[in-house]
Amino acid sequence: MKKIAVLVISAVLSAPAFAAPNWSKVPSKKVPVFYPGQSGLEWVLTKKDHSASNQILDKKRACTKCHDTDAVEIGDKIAAGKPVGNLRQPLDGAVPKGKAGSIPVTVQAAHDGNKIYLRFEWDTPKSGGDKKMDPKNDTKLTVMFDDSKVEYADRGGCWATCHEDLRGMPDANDAAKSHAKAKALGWGEGATKYIRESRTDLTMTGNARGGWDKLKSDAEIEAALKEGKFMDLMQFRSKEKAADGYVLETRHMDGGKSLIKAEGKKSGKHWTVIFERTLAAGGKGDHAIAAGKLYNIGFAIHDDNADGRFHQVSLGYTLGLDNDAADFNAVKQ
């Protein structure tokens, strides 16, 4: 009999594994996550780099409208070191050896009136054999969502948090490491994810695109948090405790209290990850999830011990409760 490896990680170890809905009765949607290279928000919004930038800026057209059918091709090109968009040069000059261009992921969502469950399934690509960036976790799965208050989240999902001046990106600036608030913001290795609402401006041209150094005041950041202008974040980790945080002026990996548990099971090369979360907002950086609304959602997978920007990401989708208009419709069970 073939040996089966099973990994179970839970934020609440005493809770029964996968005490969730009958998934055989829950609709599923298969979507690709793909390797984005160094394509931050400023790249996406610049016509000389991305020919369809006007569709996003002027027509407010979601990225899925154009790329839901060719995201796999784009990811394969970037992972292979080939140009995409209007570029003549590759979008990423440091692709890890053997990096998968894309991964098909099956997504399901359900709720019971008090909690929401998000289920993801995929097969792990063949290992590239490069140095392990995150030796502790061979796999991580991150989910981010907002309730239509973060600019660009309705078009690009997680791209609303990704900028050209983050660590590992083309316009990263080492000055971020010595910024007066570097320790508090977690910038030991450089600036991390943030959203437009936390900055006074974004530079769109030149060799310093982004706005890492254009932080709004603490009072303005606090006001934005109270107004719900942030991306709620949950992260499953294969060998460490799950994270419940948010993205606003930086990426906070804690503060939230709505995530009940995040469990993952690996059988052979097949992963199943389930998030169980309260619909109510429990802590700092938690959004309440209510009926009658659509939430902008995106997710990313760090496979093969990847870290930082070396992940496969989804385009932006929508999440709703018993709402046929949602890409991921959480049905009541």
| Residue-wise pLDDT tens digits, 216-264 | 999 999 999 999 999 999 999 999 999 999 999 999 999 999 999 999 9
Looking at residue 64, the DSSP 8-state letter turns out to be H
Please check whether residue 243 is in contact with residue 227, taking contact to mean a CB–CB distance below 8 angstroms: no
Among the listed residues 149, 286, 147, the one whose alpha carbon sits nearest the alpha carbon of residue 224: 149
Res 8: pLDDT = 42
* Positive/negative CA dihedral, 267, 271, 272, 273: positive
For residue 145, what is the enclosing H or E element? strand 140-146
The answer to whether position 266 is within a domain reads yes
| Rounded (5°) CA angle 217-38-183 | 35
d(CA 38, CA 310): 9
CB 44 within 8 A of CB 51: no
For residue 232, give the nearest of 116, 144, 119, 148 by alpha carbon. Answer: 144
Question: Residue 290 domain-assigned?
Answer: yes
Do the Cβ atoms of 249 and 202 come closer than 8 Å? no
Check: CB of residue 40 under 8 Å from CB of residue 33: no
Is there a domain that residue 12 lies in?
Answer: no
Give the DSSP letter string of 314-326. Answer: ---EEEEES-TTS
CA torsion, ordered 239, 241, 243, 244, to nearest 10 deg: 150
Is the pLDDT confidence value at 49 over 90? Answer: no
Residue 17: predicted pLDDT:
46
Domain-embedded: residue 191: yes
Structure confidence by residue, pLDDT tens digits, 129-176: 778 999 999 999 999 999 999 999 999 999 999 999 999 999 999 999
Q: Which of 149, 97, 153, 150 is nearest to 126 (CA)?
A: 97
In a domain, 271, yes or no: yes
Spacing of C-alpha 279 from chain mean position: 20
Residue 182 lies in a domain: yes
7 inside domain:
no
Per-residue pLDDT of 84-125, as tens digits, reads 866 666 889 899 999 999 999 999 999 999 999 999 999 999
User: What average pLDDT does the chain have?
Assistant: 92
CATH number (domain holding residue 256): 2.60.40.1190
Flag whether 11 is in a domain: no
Q: Taking 60 as the threshold, does the pLDDT of residue 27 lie above it?
A: yes
Q: Among 173, 273, 268, 253, which residue's Cα sits nearest to residue 214?
A: 173
Report the domain count for the chain: 1
Q: How far apart are CA 199 and CA 220, in angstroms?
A: 10
What range does the domain containing 210 cover? 23-332
- Asked whether residue 19 carries a pLDDT value surpassing 70, the answer given is no
Nearest to 84, CA basis, from 41, 117, 38, 116: 38
